[in-house]
């Protein structure tokens, strides 16, 4: 494994599917999780780190710097979709903002060693309009989206930095039929798409030679409806 794509939050749902599809396509992947790895693929190496922890984040950075001469990319997928209890803002800031900031800053030179290098921030379409029910989540995802612009300007043209902003991808396992019906009704394309649209957007960005500082919105036309 010479120049992997570092992906955070890969032990379930979108991150697990994304890491396996990238490995099947021939990319080497360094999968970072706070819990023991799920799944196995010869092209996927695993590192366990809770990105809320400064110490564990620093241990990850040290491991990467000691293990690889370069990085093909970093995909910041790790996330918690928490409500607005007071302690949750700090937690989501650590995961959505602080960890991507430090990983980008402290691994930028390894990205520059790769012939093509991409940073991809997985954001959220709710950042464009706010969220009454998840104020802190939307705000921290908006900060991650803003960092896309800063890092794209800072790291270009050697490293491309882009955002993907989904609306709905996969419902939580415990979401009720009533919640699901209400959420589906908010978009023009009223179905649960799964991880595939995000995976397609990642492959586009990894292949694109003319995208940086951009934001790919995947929301089923949510912005076209007023409810």
Ligand X SMILES: NC(=O)C1=CN([C@@H]2O[C@H](COP(=O)(O)OP(=O)(O)OC[C@H]3O[C@@H](n4cnc5c(N)ncnc54)[C@H](OP(=O)(O)O)[C@@H]3O)[C@@H](O)[C@H]2O)C=CC1
Q: Considering the rule CB under 6 A, would residue 225 count as an interface residue with ligand LV4SOB2L?
A: no
Q: Considering the rule CB under 6 A, would residue 81 count as an interface residue with ligand LV4SOB2L?
A: yes
Sheet holding 215-218, edge to edge: 44-48, 29-33, 5-8, 73-76, 117-122, 159-166, 215-218
Q: Between the CA of residue 214 and those of 75, 129, 145, 175, what are the distances in Å?
A: 15, 18, 9, 31
Which parts of the chain fold into alpha helices (H)? 13-24, 54-67, 86-93, 99-112, 135-155, 177-184, 196-207
Q: How far is the CB of 92 from ligand LV4SOB2L (least distance, A)?
A: 9
Q: Considering the rule CB under 6 A, would residue 82 count as an interface residue with ligand LV4SOB2L?
A: no
Q: How far is the CB of 91 from ligand LV4SOB2L (least distance, A)?
A: 12
Decide whether 114 or 197 has the Cβ nearer to ligand X.
197
Q: Considering the rule CB under 6 A, would residue 172 count as an interface residue with ligand LV4SOB2L?
A: yes
In the list ligand LV4SOB2L, ligand X, none, the entry touching 183 (Cβ below 5 to 8 angstroms by class) is: ligand LV4SOB2L
In whole angstroms, give the CA distance from residue 187 to residue 57.
37
In whole angstroms, give the CA distance from residue 207 to residue 22.
12
179 is catalytic: no
User: Taking CB under 6 A as the criterion, which residues in 123-162 touch ligand X?
Assistant: 124
Q: How far is the CB of 144 from ligand X (least distance, A)?
A: 9
Q: Considering the rule CB under 6 A, would residue 80 count as an interface residue with ligand X?
A: yes
The only residue of 168, 201, 202, 216 in contact with ligand X, by rule CB under 6 A: 168
Burial class for 140, CB neighbours closer than 10 Å (0-12, 13-18, 19+)? buried
Output the furthest CA–CA distance in the chain (Å, rounded): 51
Decide whether 71 or 198 has the Cβ nearer to ligand LV4SOB2L.
198
Q: Which residues bind ligand X (CB under 6 A)?
A: 8-9, 11-15, 33-35, 50-52, 77-81, 95, 122, 124, 166, 168-170
Please identify every residue annotated as catalytic.
137
């Amino acid at each position: 494994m010479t120049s992997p794509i570092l992906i955070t939050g890969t032990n379930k749902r979108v991150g697990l599917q994304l890491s396996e599809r990238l490995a099947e396509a021939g990319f080497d992947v360094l999968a970072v999780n706070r819990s023991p790895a799920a799944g196995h693929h010869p092209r996927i190496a695993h590192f366990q780190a809770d990105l809320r922890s400064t110490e564990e984040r620093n241990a990850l950075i040290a491991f990467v710097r000691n293990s690889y001469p370069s990085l093909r990319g970093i995909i910041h997928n790790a996330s918690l979709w928490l409500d607005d209890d007071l302690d949750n803002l700090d937690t989501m800031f650590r995961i959505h903002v602080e960890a991507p900031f430090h990983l980008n800053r402290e691994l930028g030179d390894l990205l520059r060693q790769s012939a093509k290098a991409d940073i991809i921030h997985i954001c959220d379409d709710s950042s464009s309009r706010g969220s009454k029910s998840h104020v802190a989540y939307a705000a921290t995802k908006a900060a991650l989206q803003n960092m896309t612009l800063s890092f794209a300007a800072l790291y270009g043209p050697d490293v491309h930095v882009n955002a993907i902003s989904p609306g709905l991808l996969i419902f939580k396992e415990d979401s009720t039929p009533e919640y699901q019906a209400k959420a589906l009704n908010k978009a023009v394309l009223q179905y649960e798409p799964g991880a595939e649209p995000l995976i397609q957007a990642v492959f586009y960005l990894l292949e694109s030679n003319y995208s940086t500082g951009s934001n790919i919105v995947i929301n089923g036309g949510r912005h076209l409806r007023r409810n």
